Structures are given as C-alpha cells and as structure tokens.
Chains A and B, each alone.
Chain A
Amino acid sequence: MLKHGFIKQLISSFLSLLPILAVVLVFQVLIIQQPIADVTGMIVGVLLVILGLTLFVYGLEQSLFPVGESMAYAFARKGSVFWLLLFAFCLGFGTTVAEPALIAVADEAAMVTSKSHLIAQTDAARSQYALGLRITVALSVGFAILVGVLRIIRGWSLYYLIICGYCAVVIMTPFAPAEIIGIAYDSGGVTTSTITVPLVTALGVGLASAIKGRNPMLDGFGLIAFASLTPMVFVMAYGMIW
C-alpha cells in the first residue's frame, strides 16, 4: 500500500514536469539547435526535482493533509468564531511559510536585489531579506484567509471585497518603490500552490457546506483569490517601510 501510493505519486510528479521538458526539448532540438552546456547537471537536477516533489506530496498526504482537512471541517462545523478565525489565520500563515515555490522565488528576489546594491552583498543580508519577504507574504495570506472565512460566515459579497483589494493595489503602486512592484505582483501567484490550496479549499468548502444558506460553489471558492490578492498589498508595504 505504502509503495503503491509512492510510485503513483512518482509518476504524477514526472507527468507534471513532462510538459516543461517537452516544450524545452522541442525548442532546443528544432529551433535553437545548440548543445546544452551542462547536460549531466540538468538531468541530475530534474531527477532531484521529481524525487523531491514526490517525497513532498507523499509526505503531505501521509501527515498534514488528513489531519489538516479533518480539522478544517471540524472547526467549520462547530467551535467558536474566535477559534475558527485564529485557526484560519494560522493555517494561511503556516502553509505559506512552508511553500517551496515561495522559498525559491524569495531567494531569487534577494539575489537580484543584492546585485542591484539595494541590500548588502552578503549571505546574511540576502537570507534576512528573503526571510522578511516570506514572512510578509505569509502574514498577508493568513490575513486573507481570516477575512475570507469572515466573509463566508457573514455572507459578504466576494465581488466588493475583491474590488476593494484591487483598488488598494492600484492606489499603493505609485507610492511603492519601483524595485518592489514586480516582486509584489508576482508574490500573489506564487503563494498558492502545493500546500496552501488543498488545505484552504477544504476549509472554505467545509465552512460553506456547514453554514445554512451558503452554497459551496458560490461561497466556498474565493479564499484562494484573496490569498493571491493581499500579498501584493503587504509586499508593497514591506517595500515602502524597508
């Protein structure tokens, strides 16, 4: 059983990487027609990505997902609003801090920023900047999930909240330093991948089906949308203060 699940996950990790490899290979062979410099390094790296992704998702399915999902449902069904909101915030924060794509992009952003001499060119300064960025994004996702859960409880319209968020982004952009804008806009999409989406969706759909008069389709979705919107606002604020 254990092996079977693992091999299945290995295949699905490979399949998620396959389109990238196919497109790159077609371009390399047909259009660029130049040898790739470090082929062995690339192959080893791709194998590591596949193995890493497999272990990661397999481990999540063994440990965090079942507990997290049942807990999300449990909190959604009973429990006071205070604990539900606290749980929502912690869930958003914790899953985002651990998100591998965000770790990678934050490191890359720190690298580029230090090359532009905005922060000191030392490993310590870089890792501090990357960590600050990730914590900012994680706080914003926690906040987003909190507001999203409050929206489902109160039945606010998703539309107005999203428009408010967009307005905040539009108003803040001219005041934010130019160097942070690209990173801020990107951080919205980066945050929501492997860990965050399943747990947050479970919370949203569980909550919407537990409360009377809520439609899981109408109210259950939308949490991810918040979680991709607030990081832009928070990261721009981080850029202004920093």
Chain B
Amino acid sequence: MTAALLHFLTGLLATCRDILPIAVIIIGFQVLIIRKPMAHPKKMLIGFVCVLLGVAFFLEGLEMALFPLGKLMAKQLTTPEFLGIANLQQATWQSYFWIYIFAASIGFATTFAEPSLLAVALKAEQISGGTIHAFGLRCAVSIGVAFGIALGAFRIVTGFELYYFIIVGYIIVIIQTAFAPKIIIGLAYDSGGVTTSTVTVPLVTALGLGLAQAIPGRNPLIDGFGLIAFASLFPIITVLGYAQIAQWLTRRNRSSKL
C-alpha cells in the first residue's frame, strides 16, 4: 500500500514538472505582456489541481490497463494455438488476418467516436456550403485511420521498411493536393493529426510493440513503432479523395440539371 502510494506521489511530482511550463507561459504572458490581472484566480487554481491529478491518474491507469491490454491482444492473437499452426515459423502473413481486422476495428471505432472530429466535420459542412457532408467526412477519416492501422500491422508482420510506405503515401498526398478543391486542403492535412486521440495513441502503440515482440524475427525498436504514423497519414488521403468525389458529384448533378 505504502509502495503504491509512494509510486503515485512520484508520478504526481513528475506531472507537476510537466504541467509547469504551460502554466508559466500562460501566466507569464498574461501578467507581463497583456498586463491584466487574472480574472478568476481561485477557479484557475482549482483547474490546475484538477489537471495535475488528472494526468497522474491517467498515466497510472494507462500503465495498469491500456498498455497491458494492447500487448495482451497482440499476444493472444498471435499464439500458435490461436492461429491453428504448430509453431510461429510456419506462419505466413495471411495467418494473422485477425490482427488486421482488430487493428482496423480499433481505428474505425475510436475515430468515428472522436468528439473533436465531429466538431471539425460540422464546421467543414457549414463552410463548404453543403458540398461536404459531416457524416461523409467522418466516414472518410475513420476509414483512413482503420486502413492505416491495418496496413501498419501488416507491415510489422511482414517486416517491410516503414520508409517506403511513408514515401509512397506522401507522393499520393502531394499528387492529390494538386487536384483537390483548395478549401479542403488545410482541413485534410489537419485531420491526420487530430484523429489520434489521447486514449487511442497508447493502445495502438502497445499493440504495435506487442506485435513486434510476438512475431519471430521482428525487433520492437525498429518494427514496433509506426502505427501512429500510418494512422495520421491515411486520413489525409481519404479526406482529399472524399473532397474530390464530392466535388465531382456536385458538378455532375449541376450539369445534368442544366
């Protein structure tokens, strides 16, 4: 009990150090440059204490639940008994298809439920004058993340170089950007970063590391990372693609009406 408490207090202390810079920056700019006193000092203080406790609890919970869960899933889905083969050396990349389905499901479900994505999608619908539908945009981003994480899992299983995938992805993005409607470009680029939320990132990282540990011949350090990179790249491609299709459909409808 005392050991657990001590562990928690050390975590809390480390959190203080992490939160301090942003607090100093905000308060420093407020007092020195804007030169106005804080509006609600008491509310601020309560807020800061909440942030500190929140991060400490969150990190503790990650250690206890999300990291082990991601690694456990990776381990269970790659045991020879589950794959129905004698040993892992015989496994081909097709043997691991449940891994790809799991990766895609996690990617789709977490992204579709992401509140910040919903907010961005509604704003985009409003600004684009109805050419872009909020629901369609959310589907596009979710499919992008799902496909990205599944492809990332496939890469870990096969051990292909991360490098090539990312370069090909970039080339596709650059070509698409030249043809996509201008108004969507900033949004599409941002959607890559927005979708990977605080809860999804640790779980997906743990999944990748667990996978790289379980599959023979893979090094967690070289092969285990990269899932998040895929999850941030593919939404850009699908959102740009969606915008192009939406624009094309609107144009066709208009010309058929005329």
Chain A interfacial positions (CB closer than 8 Å to B): 12, 15-20, 22-24, 26-27, 31-32, 34, 36-38, 41-64, 66-68, 71, 74, 79, 83, 87, 90-91, 93-95, 97-101, 103-105, 108-109, 112-113, 115-116, 118, 158-159, 162-163, 166, 169-170, 173-174, 178-179, 181-183, 185-186, 188-195, 197, 217-225, 227-228
In the bound complex, do residue A42 and residue B65 qualify as a contact, i.e. CB atoms below 8 Å apart?
Answer: yes
Pair B102/A108 contact, Cβ less than 8 Å = no
Chain B: minimal CB distance from A87 (Å): 6
Assess the B50–A83 pair: CB atoms within 8 A: no
Question: In the complex, are the beta carbons of A159 and B193 less than 8 A apart?
Answer: no
> By the criterion CB–CB under 8 Å, are A23 and B162 in contact?
no
Chain A residues near B59: list those with CB within 8 A. 52, 100, 103-104
Contact of B198 among A23, A32, A59, A194 (CB under 8 A): A194
- The segment out of B84-92, B133-141, B218-226, B243-251 that lies at the interface is B218-226
In the complex, A119→B66 CA distance in Å? 26
- Identify which of A71, A112, A174, A193 contacts B197 (C-beta below 8 A): A193
Residues of A within 8 A of B223 (CB): 182
* A26 to B222 alpha-carbon distance, docked (Å): 30
Indicate whether A45 sits within 8 Å of B231 (C-beta atoms), given known contacts A56-B50, A62-B47: no
| B182 A55 Cβ-Cβ under 8 A | no
Note all chain A residues with C-beta closer than 8 A to B55: 52, 56, 98, 100, 103
List the A side residues contacting B220 at CB < 8 Å: 112, 115-116
Q: Is the CB of B62 within 8 A of A104?
A: yes
Within the complex, the shortest CB–CB distance from B26 to chain A, in Å, comes to: 5
Q: Give CA–CA (A108, B220) in the complex, Å.
A: 11
Does B185 reach chain A (CB closer than 8 Å)?
Answer: yes
Contact B58 A100 (CB under 8 A): yes
Roughly how many angstroms separate A193 CA and B185 CA in the complex, as a whole number? 20
Majority-rule SS of B interface residues? helix
Q: Which residue of B lies closest to A118 (CB)?
A: B221
Known contacts A53-B199, A63-B48, A94-B25: A48-B65 contact under CB 8 Å: yes
Q: Is B53 an interface residue (CB 8 A)?
A: yes
B35 CB to closest chain A CB (Å) equals 11
For residue B60, which residues in chain A have a CB less than 8 angstroms away from its CB?
A: 45, 48, 52
In the complex, the answer to whether B109 meets A36 with C-beta atoms within 8 Å is: no
Residues on B with beta carbons closer than 8 Å to the beta carbon of A68: 26
Which residues of A have CB within 8 Å of B174? 163, 166
The reply to whether A189 and B199 form a contact with Cβ atoms under 8 Å apart is no
CB distance from A74 to the nearest CB of B (A): 6
With A48-B65, A193-B196 already in contact, the answer to whether A101 and B202 are too (CB < 8 A) is yes
B228 and A64 form a contact (CB under 8 A): no
Q: How far is the CA of A63 from the CA of B187 in the complex (A)?
A: 28
CA distance A191 to B229 in the complex (A): 11
**Contact at A19–B112, with CB atoms within 8 Å?**
yes
- Choose among A59, A166, A179, A183 the residue that contacts B54 (Cβ–Cβ < 8 A): A59
